[in-house]
Amino acid sequence: MFKNEEMEINLGPQHPSTHGVLRVKLHLDGETVTKCTPIIGYLHRGVEKICENQTYFQGQVWTDRMDYVASISNNLGWAEGVEKLFGIEVPRRAKYIRTMLTEQNRLASHLLWLATHALDIGAMTVFLYAFREREYLLDLFEAFCGARLTTTAFRIGGLREDLPPGFIKSAQAFQDRFLPCIDEYEELLTENRIWKKRTVGVAKLNAEDCIALGVTGPVLRAAGVPYDIRKAFPNAAYAEMDFEIPTRPEADTYARYLVRLAEMRQSHRIIQQCIEGLPEGPVMAKIPKILRSEVNEVYHPIEAPKGELGYYFVGEKGGTMPYRMHVRAPSFVNLQALSKMTEGRLLADVIAAIGTLDVVLGEIDR
Amino acid sequence: MVNLNTVLLISSLLFAIGIAGVLIRRNALVILMSIELMLNAANLNFIAFARHSGSVSGQAFALLVMGFAAAEVAVGLALVVALYRKRDTVQVDDINLLKG
Amino acid sequence: MPTMNLTQTMVMGLIQVVAVLILIFVMVPLLTFAERKVIGYIQVRLGATRTAGGHVGITGALNRGMWAMGKVPMLSILRGLPVFVADILKLILKEDIIPAKAERSVFTLAPIISVLAAFGVFSAIAFYPGALFTFPARFPIVGGLPFMGFISDVNVGVLYILALSSVGVYGIVLGAWASNSKYPLLGGLRSAAQIISYEVPLTLSLLTPVLLAGSLNFKDLSVRLSTGADMHWLAIFPLFVGFFVYTTCGFAETNRTPFDLPEAETELVAGFHTEYSGMKFGFFYLAEYTNMIVVSCFASAFFLGGYYLLPFGLQRFIPASVPFLGQPSILFFFLKVFTILFAFLWVRATVPRYRYDQLMDVGWKYLLPLTLVNLFAAALIRFAF
Amino acid sequence: MSFLRTLIPFDIAAGLTVTGRYFGKVFFSANRKKVRTRIKHFTQEYPEVPVNLQPRFRGRLTLLKDEQGEIKCVCCLACEKICPTQVITIEKGKKEGRKMPFPVQYDFEMERCIFCEFCVESCGFDSIILNHQFELAAYNREDFSIGMEGLGQNMFEPSPVGKYSVAED
Amino acid sequence: MEHLLVTIGRDMFAIFGVLALCGGIFMVAAKSAVHSVLGFLFTMLCVAGCFLSLDAEFLGMAQILVYAGGIVVLFLFVVMLVELSKYKEKGVFQLQTRSAVVAVVIGAAVFIGVFRNLLFGVASSEALVLRPELAQGLNVAQQNAQAVSRGLFSDYLLPFEILSVILLVALVGAVVLAKRERV
Amino acid sequence: MTEPIDPQAPAMPEAPTGPYVYDYMAAPNRQVVLPKTVPLPSLRTYQAEVVTAAAADEAKWQKQLADFEVAKAKAEVEGKDAPKPPVRAVPRKDDNDLKTPWPTEAKDADLLKLQELLGDKVEEIFEQAGERVCQVKKEAVLEALKVCRDAASLKYEMLADQSATHYPAAKDFAFSIVYHLTSVSRCQRLRLRILVPEGFIPESACSLYPSANWMEREIYDMLGIRFANHPDMTRILCPEDWEGFPLRKEYPTVGLGQRDIDFRDDRGGVLNRLAMEKAGQMGINLKQPKAD
């Protein structure tokens, strides 16, 4: 440990704070990290290969299992990608409902992030408070599609069923109780001196590095780049929604925390607009029973809670299954930035950096 | 009651152990510890004589010796660490060159 | 106090040691239970409400019957109480694993050192300044002897306690080293550095009451401080700052949040006791909670008024003639101890944890200057007025 | 003022206020006597207090029967084809006095089922549903192979698996 | 029983002293440096016990505080860091061990020869006994700490100040020595 | 294990030799059907297809006409009624039909600019489903990426995604590698595509876009395409010693690389054998997988 003797330490694959089976190989000089190598693949299930052998309808169930904390966003990406591949136009009501559920799912994902990130840094009560609100959201998902986590919420061409009776009412009830809860988290964390010490200036990644490394989502926005696919390439009903892209110039962990909290408030706003402006009409487009594609390729990105989630399809002539399916998982690309964020910093900052990147291993390893 | 010569015997034996440690061990850390042991033997004598004469001077001196011991350990350990960093060893046998 | 012969002294000492041991062995499990409950309530859940097998056997039948009647079985605060027995049973019955590459002797020695250092402290702590009760004359050896509120009345009690608690660090460091594993080693190094650096402000903050009261005897010190005998009224300020610094350092000494870096589970899995299991782990656990109790006893005795009702020497405003409130009582002492223990749990549930270098910063850059200034102020008050 | 704010931890006091408030609320409401009084804690005591499931909850697959007690399934194999994990195996057969085909065997390998409800969606005869059963734990793998008949594997029984769940007994 | 207890109480110093000797021997003879440190710690605690039995309460506690709380932890710290490397000791003892042992034995013999009369002479048991009434001088009104500090801050103020300067110098020196050269 | 055989021992059913192994070679998923066509979207191919289809349609119509003429002549000869004249089939349309996005001529300014800058290194540009596609020569990919990133009017700063597709049925190439570029400042997207044959080592994009690091490792891991000048060309998702490249079309969904892991510390196989014997006593045939 004295004479340039570095300790090599394995953070994971079984470790309380790596959020799954992430393994990070650290070279430590005392407590300072000199080299940081993320090693992934422990959860590799070959989703892309499986989807090449399943029809476009069936493939959606695998997207649930990628980013399992934001499965509705994944469903949306899949459904919209396939619709783009076939040129299907979705009814407006379905678009609104999709937008609302996706935003609720963003809330759920950000709440989970807040919970685990705070727990990593040591604040254990925020964990339970955030899970309490997430529970309401999961109840809403259960009411809509029957499952809480692996939702399989949407269908190609729209939705399977319309909203259940009473859904709007309970969603509105959640809307009413949610904003005070965010204030509560802020009271516990935002001004707390220990929280600020642990996050301000930690794991910095400026805008140039973010763009060069392909980092998207709240991490990019916390570096001051107002890039949001909901605004840049509007999908679903986002073009009709009125919301802002929260950004911060500091590009550190604290800025990401603030950006995500502000995003939660914006999502709350979007859901309110969806509830108020929900149009009447059918929820399913007219599509044939068996979809047969033409030769086509499509890359469809959406703004998942973690960043740009892109689905790349190659269609075969007359094929009912995708010839090639590829997922641009936001966590996969974002995780590349971990070594740049942490090298030269302390061991505890690695934990904060993993937390602030908000990685989900199901999505990274696919 | 305790006899003074018991104290003296034990302290001289402690001192002897310390000398033996300095002379026969090759680990610089153990040598440093042996020196501490000798200082403690001296302290024991101080206190025994203070007790014998009924004056606190000996105890005050023992306290001073303790402070010196602490200073000595700080410097000694710093030396050992510096040595280890330079030569990758704490064995006194291996330190036979003038230049590091 | 009647004079005692040697045998009587030894027997009385034995009785009192056993009493204190019983106190520890009751308080520590209750403390873990309270930790579950308090943190549970803070986190809008119920905490422990049932032990394993709550649905079988007699208690199971009882529980189910009461649920069927639409009643919550028993008082809900007490329903999880058997958990602490289950905890101890689990620790005792669990397989005691010594890793193959571990240094066996040191590995076994480390938890023992921890526990001994933690327990030994109690021999100088006075829970009550005088005799609690007198044994009736019909008892064979101890008849007519008083049962004191302390084991021994050490002249340099404060120093003794500080010295013993500084020995406790060896348990952690040796256990970490003997595990021959990397996470424990990092935890052990952190712990050694942390405890050594926080011992300085801790000791200095304790010097404030020592300076103000002019004694090193635990009992004398506490009584003099709380009654405010020959103390200027300004002394409340250095006492208050001293209390603040002492509690902060106490959190650090006992490795509690926000200073729980040696066992920061999100960084070092479980820190220095990662490789421990069974009763060896239980010893570390016991030592940590015992240390919490010790810190609470200290803070309560020196800053919060000890055996009297009001803290910081405010007791002088209540004349000794007031029947209950003016008199020293063991109840007041334990009330304060429990309050501080509750604060331990409350803070744990609220704040995040520091980073290692920030922890050192807090210790050396803020607490140490603060205590020095405080000490100087106390000396000024003592000698100027 | 800022110096004072640094010296005195107002921020931590604010956090302590939040947590302390919750402690008080839950402490005074949790130690109640009746079950159905207004409670402040969020968690539920699950096996005793039943779970409220939404009507669309997706549980275990079940075959439905019509009013005569006949199995509705007519072996169109739509569910078998659409299943993403191929957990359904149907064997077609004939039965006396029934025009439509009759499933001689309807096997459901629940250990692989992902509860996506595609089978129910594809069924044109409304002959299967996912019921509301969610305590699907068992000690043996064989317990997860559910069929129409067989030892302890009857699909029409209320709980062929999950027999070790607490709520059942 | 009573007799035994009295004996133990009277010979407390001897017990602690012998234990300290055992610890010292363990320290010198132990193969692993950590074991040496353990032995050292034990010796220090026992020496503190000796101090206590010689009516030097304050010094005993100071011994534990300074040695057990500070110095031995430092030793342990350095030993743990040094033993991290895979470097194996070639041998525990030096090459000149035998001659060293001979020298120590000769030294002890000379020592005993010179001081034999003084220590084990006929009158020694009378002259050298530690009389209990003399302990009162060390224990002014049950406050050994006060007595020691009186001595320290009145008679020996200059050595005390020199000591503080030396400590400061040692502090600076240790920091300079142990500081890593940044490349 | 050399134990003396006890003649009085009860006759045990013979324990299966070796551990229980699912016969992956016989599994239905093991059989691989290689694709017959090359579903590579391309304006040129589409236009050729359209022309061919029109020609085929025309030829069919001509044949129908000729048949009709022949039939009419025959009927006239035989004196029967004249057959109905053929009607040219019009493709049926209804609401359920999909509006398939066909490739169209590139009209976008970015694509034209790119062609202008790169000249004959561009093989093809077109638009499909609202996405811009530019196919460049495989040797010039780094140059094309540099132009895309640095040209003032393009400024595609971010490499959002990079992936590859296997085309075993194609003749002069085996893989297509696509680069999805995003311009964060202009909110534009572009797909760059190269076609590489088996064994060709394209230049790595890491020097221009650091985000390509893991994506190229993933492509190597999944499809076996190596990249030149990559800092760390190793497998990323699969273990280091994995056989084959899973996303190639000839790779079966079940079988290759699959291994049975015995978690018990049973080097001599004693525990396994005992378990087999026990299973044999209980009449359970572990050999037969339940799924079949």
Using CA coordinates, name the residue in chain A closest to B85: A3
pLDDT digits (tens, 9 = 90+) for C236-259: 888 888 888 888 888 888 888 788
CB-nearest partner of A122 from C43, C186, C258: C258
> Do A191 and A233 meet the contact criterion of CB atoms below 8 Å apart?
no
Domain assignment of residue D21, yes or no: yes
A195 contacts on C by Cβ (under 8 Å): 352
A2 contacts on E by Cβ (under 8 Å): 81-82, 180
How far does chain B reach from its first CA to its final CA, in angstroms? 55
Do chains A and C touch, with touching meaning 3 or more CB–CB pairs less than 8 Å apart?
yes
Amino acid F47: pLDDT: 84
The answer to whether E167 contacts B90, with C-beta atoms less than 8 Å apart, is: no
Class of domain A7-365 as given by CATH: mainly alpha
Residue F56: strand, helix, or coil: helix
Domain assignment of residue D30, yes or no: yes
Residue E13 pLDDT exceeds 60: yes
The A residues from 145 to 184 touching D (CB cutoff 8 Å) are 145-147, 150, 152, 160-161, 164, 184
Spatial neighbors of D118 by CB under 8 A, at least 6 apart, are A57, A58, A61, A152, D79, D82, D83, D84
- What's the count of helices (H) and strands (E) in chain A, helices before strands? 15, 8
Identify which of F160, F141, F153, F142 has the alpha carbon closest to the alpha carbon of residue F116. F153
Residue D19 pLDDT exceeds 60: yes
CB-nearest partner of C6 from E6, E57, E69: E6
CA A102 – CA A153 distance, rounded (Å): 10
Amino acid D33: pLDDT: 56
**Same domain? D65 vs D127:** yes
Element (H, E) at A128: helix A124-145
Determine the residue type at C175: G
Say which range, A46-50, C50-54, F47-51, has the weakest mean pLDDT. Answer: C50-54
Residue C370 pLDDT exceeds 80: yes
pLDDT digits (tens, 9 = 90+) for C294-326: 888 888 888 887 777 777 767 677 777 777 677
Identify which of C31, C201, C25, C175 has the alpha carbon closest to the alpha carbon of residue C109. C175
**D90 beta partners:** D106
Measure A193 CA to nearest chain C CA, in Å: 9
Mean pLDDT value of segment B14-37: 84
Phi (first) and psi of residue F216, to 5 degrees: -70, -35
Number of independent structural domains in chain D: 2
CA C316 – CA A277 distance, rounded (Å): 70
Identify which of C326, C344, C287 has the alpha carbon closest to the alpha carbon of residue C165. C287
Mean pLDDT value of segment C88-96: 83
Residue F290 pLDDT exceeds 50: no
CB-nearest partner of C351 from A123, A129, A132: A123
Determine the residue type at F110: D
Identify which of C307, B84, F236, F188 has the alpha carbon closest to the alpha carbon of residue A39. F236
Torsion on CA atoms D16, D19, D20, D23, rounded to nearest 10: -160
Res. F274 pLDDT band, cuts 50 70 90: low
What length does chain F have?
292
Q: Any idea which fold B4-94 has?
A: Helix Hairpins (1.10.287)
- A-C CB pairs within 8 A amount to 81
**Same domain? D88 vs D22:** no
Q: Hey, CA dihedral for A318, A322, A323, A328, is it positive or negative?
A: positive
The answer to whether A197 contacts C354, with C-beta atoms less than 8 Å apart, is: yes
- Residue found under tokens 């049926």: F92
**Same domain? D76 vs D115:** yes
Mean pLDDT value of segment C347-354: 86
> Do A71 and A47 meet the contact criterion of CB atoms below 8 Å apart?
no
Using CA coordinates, name the residue in chain D closest to C370: D7
Amino acid A259: pLDDT: 92
**Same domain? D70 vs D99:** yes
Joined tokens for residue D156? 């029409």
User: Is the CB of A2 inside 8 Å of chain B's CB atoms?
Assistant: yes
CA B31 – CA E36 distance, rounded (Å): 10
Mean pLDDT value of segment C179-208: 83
Per-residue DSSP letter, A149: S
Joined tokens for residue E9? 């109480």
Do chains E and C touch, with touching meaning 3 or more CB–CB pairs less than 8 Å apart?
yes
**A304 beta partners:** A307
Q: Which domain holds residue D37?
A: 1-43
Amino acid E183: pLDDT: 44
Joined tokens for residue C25? 């062995």
CA C198 – CA C359 distance, rounded (Å): 9
Cis bond leading into A13, ω under 30°?
A: yes
Amino acid A110: pLDDT: 92
Tell the burial category of E97 from Cβ atoms under 10 Å away from its Cβ (0-12, 13-18, 19+): middle
Mean pLDDT value of segment C332-336: 86
CB-nearest partner of B63 from E37, E87, E152: E152
Joined tokens for residue A303? 């703004």
**Same domain? D67 vs D32:** no
The answer to whether A143 contacts D12, with C-beta atoms less than 8 Å apart, is: no
Do chains F and B touch, with touching meaning 3 or more CB–CB pairs less than 8 Å apart?
no
Percent of chain D whose predicted confidence (pLDDT) is above 70 = 76
The answer to whether D145 contacts F290, with C-beta atoms less than 8 Å apart, is: yes
F28 contacts on A by Cβ (under 8 Å): none
**Same domain? D81 vs D121:** yes
Predicted confidence pLDDT, tens digits, chain A (366 residues): 444 567 788 887 877 777 778 888 888 877 788 888 888 888 888 888 888 888 888 888 888 888 888 899 999 999 999 888 888 888 889 999 999 999 999 999 999 999 988 888 888 888 888 998 898 899 899 888 888 888 888 888 888 888 888 889 999 999 998 988 888 888 888 888 888 888 888 888 888 888 888 898 899 999 888 888 888 888 888 888 888 889 888 888 999 999 999 999 999 999 999 899 888 888 888 887 778 888 888 899 998 898 889 999 988 888 888 888 899 989 898 888 888 888 888 888 888 888 888 888 888 888
pLDDT digits (tens, 9 = 90+) for F179-220: 999 888 888 888 888 989 888 888 888 888 888 889 898 899
**A28 beta partners:** A7, A33
Percent of chain F whose predicted confidence (pLDDT) is above 90 = 2
> Do C125 and C150 meet the contact criterion of CB atoms below 8 Å apart?
yes
Mean pLDDT value of segment F123-132: 84
Phi (first) and psi of residue C251, to 5 degrees: -60, -40
CA E57 – CA E61 distance, rounded (Å): 6
Joined tokens for residue D159? 């709980």
The answer to whether D18 contacts A187, with C-beta atoms less than 8 Å apart, is: yes
Q: What angle do CA A290, A295, A299 make, to 5 degrees?
A: 95
